[in-house]
Amino acid sequence: MFTISQRFPRHRFFAAKLCAIIILGSTIIPPSLGAQDYPPDRARGKAVYDRHCQNCHGSNGRGDGPAAASLNVPPTNFSRFRSFIKSDEELMRTIEHGIVFSPMHSWRGRLTDGEMQDVVAYIRVLSQYGQ
Ligand code: HEC
C-alpha cells in the first residue's frame, strides 16, 4: 500500500506551491505596474511633442507646423472631430506603426512605449483646448 508521502513526494508539493504563487502573483499584480512608467505624464508628453511632432502638427496640434506646407499629405489637426473621436489605442497604433505612403512614419524604436503614451496624453490636451 502507498503512503501519502510516496504518492506525492515533497518536490511535487513544492512545485505545486510554486505554480500557485506564480499564478496568484500574476493575477494580483496588474500588468500596468510592470516595467512601464504609468500613468502617462502630459508634461513629459509635451517635451516629446515639441521635440518630434510640432514641426508638422503645429504647436497647438492643428496640423499647421512649419514643415506642414511642404508635405504632400497635410498633418492631422488633432482638434478636428474625425481625429478627436479616435480612441487612445488608435492614436497609439498610428504613432507606433505610422501610416503607409504618408510623412507620418513609425516611431517604434525612436520613442519608448512610455514616451508614446505620454505624447498621446498630451495630444488629448491639445485636442481639447486647441480650438
Ligand atoms: C513629417 C511630418 C510629421 C511628423 C514629424 C509627425 N507627424 Fe503625425 N502625421 C503626419 C501626417 C502627414 C499625418 C496624416 C497622415 C494621413 O492622414 O495619411 C499624421 C497623422 C498622425 C496621427 C493620426 C491622427 C488621426 O487622427 O488618425 C497621429 C496620432 C500622429 N500623427 C501623431 C504624431 C506624433 C505623436 C508625432 C511625434 C512623435 C508625429 N505625429 C510626428 C505628419 C507628421
Query: pLDDT of 15-67, one tens digit each?
Result: 666 555 556 555 555 544 444 557 899 999 999 999 999 999 999 999 999 99
Domain ranges of the chain: 4-33, 42-129
Select from 109, 110, 125, 101 the least CA-distant residue to 40: 125
pLDDT at 20: 59
CA distance 110 to 101: 19
Q: How confident is the model at residue 88 (pLDDT cuts 50, 70, 90)?
A: very high
CA distance 43 to 10: 54
Q: How many A from CA of 25 to the centre of ligand 1?
A: 39
Q: Quickly name the fold that domain 42-129 has.
A: Cytochrome Bc1 Complex; Chain D, domain 2 (1.10.760)
Percent of the chain scoring above 70 in pLDDT: 69
Q: How many A from CA of 128 to the centre of ligand 1?
A: 17
* Protein residue with least CA distance to atom 6, ligand 1: 53
Least confident residue range of 7-16, 67-76, 101-110: 7-16
